[in-house]
Amino acid sequence: MKRWLALSQDWRRVGYAVIAAILLFVLGQAVHPGFLRLNSVATVLVISSFVGLVAAGQCFVILIGGIDLSVPWVLNAAAIMLTVTSLGQEGRAPWAILVTLGLGVLIGAVNGFGVAFLGVPAVVMTLAMDGIMEGLTLGLTGGFTCGACSSYAPPVVQAMAHGASLGFPNALWLWLAVILLVSGALTLTRFGRATYAIGNNPLAAFLAGVSVPGITILLYAASGFFSALAGIMLVGFGGQASLGMGEPYLFQSIAAVVIGGVSILGGRGYYLGAAAGAVSLTVLVSVLLALDMPDYFRSILYGVVILALLLLYGREETG
Amino acid sequence: MSEAVLTRRSRASHVVGQNIGLILAGSILLLAILVYIGVYLIQLHRLPGNFAVTSTVNSAMPLIFATVGQSFVVLTKGIDLSVGGVVDLSNAMAAVTMRNSPGSMALWSVAILLVGAACGLLNGLLVGLGRLQPIVVTLGTLSIFQGLAIRVLPQPGGAIPPGYTNLLVNPNHPYALIYVALLALAWMGFRRTRPGVDLYAIGNDEAASRSLRINVLRTKIIAYVLDGVLGAAAGLLLAANATAGDATTGNGYTLTSIVAAVLGGISLFGGRGSAVGAICGAFITTLIVNILFFSHVDPLFQSFYEGLFLLIAVVAGGVIGGTIRRRR
């Protein structure tokens, strides 16, 4: 008990997020027996991984006090880019994936450039970028009527979302790798320390020799990368791209990051918490779906539970 | 401190410096109006008449109210993502309840505005008492308000009495501008009251305001309640415009009200801007849509240009504002 209390407040919040996820799983089992069956848990976790991937990028930019509102249409554009460039052919898949991820990185870097060099507030920059990507996606595909638009994702991409290796779904292997990579980068590297430093005090970070614009661009580029990666996984999961498929991931990714104990003001929190937050949200939605509730009630409960979780452990210290 | 800083500046220079955001917003609005008239002239070979002006004003009305509401919260360094949900709820309630009698219209309008106030109160309490960040609180309440709106009006429909439409957004004359003027006047009055001054103080430095014995909790709650009331008013105007209800058309107002507030010179970092600027911003946003429409831009590319114009306006505004501040 002593040791638990000795944990920093930030790690305690990660703990709470994990406990919330587990409790929600148990609640699911209580209201819908069979919820805790292995394959049902695996499905929920695979669906969480899509939110989790977006949340990785969101977590990066929120850690420096930013936000990425361009997620919906970067994700959507990436999904369409993948199917249109690969045309569902296995041989084209590798470079189609590269082009798609490159697109995400490029858009993210432009976001970072606007925030770092043009001094545009992150909310405005990424909101404008979301509109720009929506217009480009709709315009260039002729309102999604292009011949290549209805192509399927190449089998290898579908296998990435549906298949399993060593008895463990591929999507979860990928997410596990992302969790390790992102957490490692944030806690063990110079880059991670610079990120937290900027989030706590950009001026102090600058005076300490951190390249604030460089790191900012890098973080937004990473967010674009993860949105694109989520787009690829989603198109693999669903088989085809569709318009508006990125819409739910904006608010869910922000909610996951915040439920995971990351401060929206920046500088505090860990990706592990955000990952647990992504699982919590997905389990919550699955439980509400399993309860066969009307849409409106699900929406209300979703909001109530998010607020309740935040009131339980997401409050700021008294000012 | 250098000599230059201590010398008294002319009154004009002082006024320019104090209202730089507003002046920029006004200039962008003027530019937008000129471009609108130009495009209209080229495409239709005549000046926009009564009909064009009336429809532009009427379509801007809901956004104006939502943006002014959003501004109250943004001035305290907050943000309201739930305003779209409040617009939805108010819009749905109006379509379900309103009957064609003056009593029913008045009664339900007041009731719906009170519901908006209650929504704002919930946000304000969670932010102020709950010590949660505005962005996450309103993210949660957005979901709740949207759910309630769909519960009230599951399918688009209902009806708004024509008398109500004539009163709020008269389709024949731009009488709705009277409400805009009243809103601006009310703002100017509020700006000079105690809560109005406190609003700016909190947005500029919350800790300092607290040490000056400003009641931060009360001021924040006032800001969110006013935001809720104006969001509900936006929903009523939207319903009056459409003469029917839809529990989802309000969603867009969350993001457009933020865009309009920013274009209106309200700083997302709090403490800077005015409702008059917000009104300008809402008109600019509406005019951009109209300009794109009249210049026969492929509607599919519409959001591309909207995003681009937003960026250009904000970047140019930042550069010009920065230059003027530095030269003073």
Q: Using a CB–CB cutoff of 8 Å, tell me whether B4 touches chain A.
A: no
Residues of chain A with pLDDT > 70, as a percent, come to 96
Across the interface, of B258, B259, B300, the residue whose CB is closest to A139 is B300
Chain B residues within 8 A of A288 when measuring between CB atoms: none
Closest CA to B289 of B70, B39, B82, B44: B39
Are B231 and B83 contacting, i.e. CB atoms less than 8 angstroms apart? yes
State whether residue A315 sits within 8 Å of chain B by CB. Answer: yes
H-run or E-run covering A154: none
Instruction: Return the ∠ at Cα B180 (arms to B179 and B185), rounded to 5°.
Output: 95
**Is the pLDDT reported for residue B4 higher than 60?**
no
Residues of B in contact with A294 (CB under 8 A): 151
Instruction: Look at residue B7 in the predicted model and tell me its pLDDT.
Output: 54
> For residue B3, what pLDDT band results from cuts at 50, 70 and 90?
very low
DSSP code at position B301: G
pLDDT at residue A318 is higher than 60: no
In this predicted model, what pLDDT tens digit does every residue of A160-190 receive, in sequence order?
Answer: 888 888 878 888 889 999 999 999 999 899 9
Contact B39, B291 (CB under 8 A): yes
With an 8 Å Cβ cutoff, is A138 touching chain B?
Answer: yes
CA A52 to centroid of chain Cα atoms: 4
Kindly report the nearest CA distance between residue B307 and chain A, in angstroms: 4
Encode pLDDT of A46-80 as tens digits: 889 999 999 999 999 999 989 999 999 999 999 99
Considering only CB atoms, B298 lies closest to which of A139, A297, A304, namely A139
How far is the alpha carbon of A98 from chain B, nearest alpha carbon, in Å? 25
Give residue B142's identity as a one-letter amino acid code. L
Query: Which of B238, B271, B221, B234 shows the shortest CA–CA distance to B71?
Result: B271
- What does DSSP assign to residue A165? E
DSSP strands (E only) in A139-248: 164-165, 168-169
pLDDT of residue A177: 92
Q: Is A316 on the interface with B (CB under 8 A)?
A: yes
- Give the pLDDT band (50/70/90) at residue A319: very low
**What is the average per-residue pLDDT within A215-230?**
95
Averaged confidence pLDDT in chain A: 87
| pTM beyond 0.90, yes or no | no
Among B residues 250-289, those touching chain A with beta carbons less than 8 Å apart: 255, 258-259, 262, 268-269
Choose the weakest-confidence range: A130-134, A217-221, B245-249, B277-281.
B245-249
Inform me whether the C-beta atom of residue A121 falls under 8 Å from chain B C-beta atoms. Answer: yes
Determine the distance in angstroms separating the CA of A195 from the nearest CA of chain B, rounded to an integer: 21
Answer yes or no: do A139 and B141 touch at CB < 8 A: no
The Cα B315–Cα B311 span in angstroms is 6
At CB < 8 A and 24+ separation, what contacts does A113-117 make?
A: A113/A217, A114/B311, A114/B315, A115/A66, A115/A216, A115/A220, A116/A212, A116/A213, A116/A216, A116/A217, A117/A213
Work out whether strand A164-165 and strand A168-169 pair parallel, antiparallel, or are unpaired: antiparallel
Angle in degrees, CA B54, B231, B118, rounded to 5: 150
Secondary structure of A40-96 as H, E, C letters: HHHHHHHHHHHHHHHHHHHHHHHHCCCCCCCHHHHHHHHHHHHHHHHCCCCCCHHHH
Task: Express each pLDDT in B147-173 by its tens digit.
Answer: 999 999 998 888 888 888 888 888 888
Cβ-defined contact of A310 to B79 (cutoff 8 Å): no
Nearest to A303 among B132, B141, B258 (CB): B141
For residue A7, pLDDT beyond 70: no
Residues A234-252: tens digit of each pLDDT:
998 988 888 888 888 988 8
**What are the tens digits of pLDDT across the range B85-94?**
999 999 999 9
Q: Which amino acid is at A183?
A: S
Average pLDDT, chain B: 88
Contact B307 A132 (CB under 8 A): yes
User: B318-327, pLDDT tens digit by residue?
Assistant: 788 777 777 7
The length of chain A in residues reads 319
* Cross-chain residue pair A316–B132, CB shorter than 8 Å: yes
Q: Is A311 on the interface with B (CB under 8 A)?
A: yes
Distance CA(A41)–CA(A62), nearest Å, equals: 29
Nearest to B173 by CA among B58, B49, B54, B56: B54
Nearest alpha carbon to residue B84 among B262, B257, B241? B257
Residues of A in contact with B124 (CB under 8 A): none
| Average pLDDT rounded to a whole number, residues B24-52 | 88
Query: Distance between CA atoms of A113 and A220, rounded to whole angstroms?
Result: 9
Q: Which residues contact A28 (CB under 8 A, 6 or more apart)?
A: A35, A36, A283, A286, A287, A290
Q: Which has the minimum average pLDDT: A80-84, A103-107, B193-197, B299-303?
A: B299-303
Query: Mean pLDDT, to the nearest integer, of B43-71?
Result: 91
Region B297-319 average pLDDT: 84
Provide the shortest C-alpha distance from residue B123 to chain A (in Å): 11
pLDDT at B39 over 50: yes
For residues A254, A257, A259 and A262, what is the CA-based torsion angle, rounded to 10 degrees?
-120
Whether A128 and B308 lie within 8 Å, measured CB to CB: yes
**CB-nearest partner of A300 from B148, B300, B318:** B148
Q: Which residue has the higher pLDDT, B267 or B68?
A: B68
Q: How far apart are CA B139 and CA B137, in angstroms?
A: 5
Closest partner residue to B258 (CB to CB) among A127, A299, A307 is A127
Which of B143, B305, B308 minimises the CB distance to A302? B143
What are the pLDDT digits (tens) for A192-216? 999 999 988 888 988 988 889 999 9
Length of chain B: 328
B298 or A182: which leads in pLDDT: A182
Which of B279, B288, B132, B254 is CA-nearest to residue A127? Answer: B254
Residue A20: per-residue pLDDT = 84
Q: Which residues of A touch B140 (CB under 8 A)?
A: 255, 303-304, 306-307, 310
**Phi, psi of B48, deg, nearest 5:** -60, 130
**pLDDT surpasses 80 at B177:** yes
Sign of the torsion angle spanned by Cα atoms A28, A32, A36, A41: negative
Record: contact B79-A123, CB cut-off 8 A: yes
Q: How far apart are CA B131 and CA A314, in angstroms?
A: 9
DSSP B221-269: HHHHHHHHHHHHHHHHHHHHHHTSB-SSGGGGHHHHHHHHHHHTT--TT
| Residue-level pLDDT at A4 | 55
What whole-number distance in Å separates Cα of residue B256 and Cα of residue B293?
17
Residue A5: its pLDDT value, please? Answer: 55
pLDDT, position B171:
86
- Decide if B300 touches A, using CB distance below 8 A: yes
- What pLDDT is stored for residue B2 in this prediction? 46
Average pLDDT, integer, range B71-95? 93
Cα of A155 to nearest chain B Cα, Å: 31
| Neighboring chain A residues of B96 at a CB cutoff of 8 Å | none
Among the ranges given (B2-6, B75-79, B95-99), the one the predictor scored with the smallest mean pLDDT:
B2-6
